[in-house]
Structure 1
Amino acid sequence: MSDSIKYILAVDDEPSMLRLLEISLRQAGYQPLTARDGREALEVIQAQKVDCVVTDLHMPRMDGLQLLKEIRKTDTELPVIIVTAQGEIKSAIEAMKSGASDYILRPFDLEELELAIKRALSFSRLVVENKFLREEKLVNTGLIGNSPVMQQLTASIRQVAPEKATVLLAGETGTGKEVVARAIHAASPRNNALFVAVNCAAIPHEMLESELFGHEKGAFTGAVKERIGKFELADGGTLFLDEVTEMPMQLQAKLLRALQENVIERLGGNRPISVDIRVVAATNRNPLAAIKDGKLREDLYYRLNVFRIDLPALRVRKSDIEALAEYFLAKRRVAISDQAIQLLMQYDWPGNVRELENVLERAAIISGNQMIQPEHLPAEMLNHSVALSATNLDTDGLTPTKHADDAPVVNVLSLPSSVEALERQLIVKALAFTHGNKSKAAKVLEISERSLWYKLSQYGIS
Structure 2
Amino acid sequence: MNQQKRILAVDDEPHMRRLLEISLRQAGYQPVVAENGKEALTILRNDNIDLVVSDLHMPVMDGLKLLEALRAENIDTPVIIVTAQGEISSAVQAMKLGASDYILRPFDLETLEIAISRALSVTRLKVENQFLRDEAGQIGKSLIGESPAIRKVHQAISQVAAEKATVLIAGETGTGKELVARAIHQQSPRKNALFIAVNCAAIPSEMLESELFGHERGAFTGAVKERIGKFELADGGTLFLDEVTEMPIALQAKLLRALQEGTIERLGSNRQLNVDIRVVAATNRDPMQAIKEGKLREDLYYRLNVFRIDLPPLRDRLSDIKILAAHFLKKRNVSIDENAASLLENYAWPGNIRELENVLERAAIVCSGPLIRAENLPVDMIKKINPIAPLLTNTNDLSNPRLSLSLPDAVQSIEIQIISEALTQANGNKSRAAKLLEISERSLWYKLSRYHLTDQ
Do these two structures clear the TM 0.5 threshold for a shared fold by scoring above it? Answer: yes
**Paired residues, what number?**
434
The 2-side partners of 1:382 and 1:58 are apart by 77
Contact 1:3 1:273 in 2 (8 A): no
Q: Residue type matched to 2:78 in 1?
A: P
Q: Greater shift after overlay, 260-269 or 427-436?
A: 427-436
Asked if the contact 1:141–1:183 (Cα under 8 Å) also holds between the matched residues in 2, the reply is: no
Match of 1:452 among 437, 442, 448: 437
- 2:210 matches 1:218: no
Q: CA shift at 1:251, angstroms?
A: 1.0
Any conservation in 2 of the 1:190–1:237 contact (CA below 8 Å)? Answer: yes
Task: Specify the alignment match of 2:259 in structure 1.
Answer: 259
Is the alpha carbon distance of 1:83 and 1:390 closer, same or farther for their aligned partners in structure 2, counting shifts above 3 Å?
Answer: closer
Q: CA deviation at 1:241?
A: 0.5
Kindly state the Cα deviation for residue 193 of structure 1 after the two structures are TM-superposed. 0.7
**Are the aligned partners of 2:235 and 2:275 in contact in 1 as well (CA < 8 Å)?**
yes
**2:260 corresponds to 1:269:** no
1:138 maps to which residue? 137
Instruction: Tell me the CA shift for residue 160 of structure 1.
Output: 0.1
427-436 or 75-84, which moves further after superposition?
427-436
Indicate yes or no: 2:408 matched with 1:417.
yes
**With structure 1 as the length reference, what TM-score do the two structures score?**
0.88
Instruction: Write the distance in 1 (CA, Å) between the matches of 2:316 and 2:144.
Output: 14
How does 1:334-353 map onto structure 2 within 5 Å?
334-353=334-353
Aligned to 2:113, the other structure's residue is in SS state helix
Letter in 1 for 2:290: A
Identity %: 64
Report the counterpart of residue 10 of structure 1 in structure 2.
9
CA contact (8 A) 1:332 1:369 kept: no
Structure 1 residue 38, shift from structure 2 partner: 1.9
Q: Cα gap change, 1:40/1:251 in structure 2, threshold over 3 Å: closer, same or farther?
A: same
Change (3 A) 1:114 1:126: same
Structure-2 change in CA distance of 1:209 and 1:368 (3 Å): farther
Q: Deviations over 1:4-60 (max 9, x none)?
A: 521111112222212211121122221212222222221111121111011112222
Do 2:383 and 2:420's aligned partners in 1 also have CA atoms closer than 8 Å? no
Match of 2:93 in 1: 94
Instruction: Tell me which stretches of 4 or more aligned residues in structure 1 moved more than 4 Å.
Output: 428-436
Deviation at 1:419, TM superposition (A): 4.0
The answer to whether the aligner puts 1:374 opposite 2:365 as a matched pair is no
Equivalence for 2:429:
437
Sort the Cα spacing of 1:378 and 1:282 in 2 relative to 1 into closer, same or farther, 3 A: same
Q: Which amino acid aligns with 1:454?
A: I
Q: In structure 2, do the counterparts of structure 1 residues 3 and 329 end up closer, same or farther at CA, with 3 Å as the change threshold?
A: farther
Match of 2:173 in 1: 173
Is residue 215–residue 267 contact of structure 1 (8 Å, CA) maintained in 2?
yes
Alignment of 1:311-330 (within 5 A): 311-330=311-330
Partner of 1:71: 70
Seen in structure 2, the aligned counterparts of structure 1 residues 13 and 433 have a Cα distance that, compared at 3 Å, is farther
| Aligned CA distance change for structure 1 residues 436 and 309 (closer, same or farther; 3 Å) | closer
CA distance in 1, matches of 2:100, 2:421: 63
**1:174-202 Cα deviation digits (max 9, x unpaired):** 00000000000000000111111111111
Is the contact between residue 346 and residue 390 of structure 2 (CA under 8 Å) also seen in structure 1? Answer: no
Q: Does structure 2 retain, via aligned residues, the 8 Å contact 1:7–1:30? A: yes
Q: Determine the C-alpha separation between the residues in 2 that align with 1:5 and 1:192.
A: 22
- Listed as ranges, the matches of 1:31-180 within 5 Å are 31-75=30-74, 77-136=76-135, 138-139=137-138, 140-180=140-180
C-alpha deviation, 1:438, in angstroms: 4.0
State which drifts further: 9-18 or 300-309.
Answer: 9-18
| AA in 2 matched with 1:72 | R
* Amino acid aligned to 1:451: L
Greater mean deviation of Cα atoms: 90-99 or 354-363: 90-99
Distance across 1 between alignment mates of 2:362 and 2:421 = 15
TM-score by length of structure 2 reads: 0.89
For residues 434 and 22 of structure 1, what CA distance do their matches in structure 2 show?
84
TM-superposed deviation, 1:457: 4.2
Gaps of 5+ in 2: 396-405, 449-456
1:394-443 per-position Cα deviation (integer Å, ceiling 9, x unaligned): 9x9xxxxxxxxxxxxxxxxxx9433443355443696599774247x74x
Q: Secondary structure at the match of 2:8?
A: strand
Query: What are the superposed Cα offsets for residues 110-163 of structure 1, whole Å, 9 maximum, x if unpaired?
Result: 210111111111111111111222223532342211111111111110110000
**Distance change in 2, residues 1:433/1:35 (3 Å):** farther
Shift of 1:105: 1.0
The one-letter amino acid paired with 2:159 is Q
The unaligned stretches of length 5 or more in structure 1 are: 397-414, 443-448
Distance 1:162 1:141, change over 3 A: farther
RMSD (Å) for aligned C-alpha atoms = 2.4
1:453 deviates by: 5.3
Letter in 2 for 1:332: R
The superposition leaves residues 212-236 of structure 1 with CA deviations (integer Å, 9 ceiling, x where unpaired) of: 1112222222222221111111111
CA distance in 1, matches of 2:29, 2:3: 10
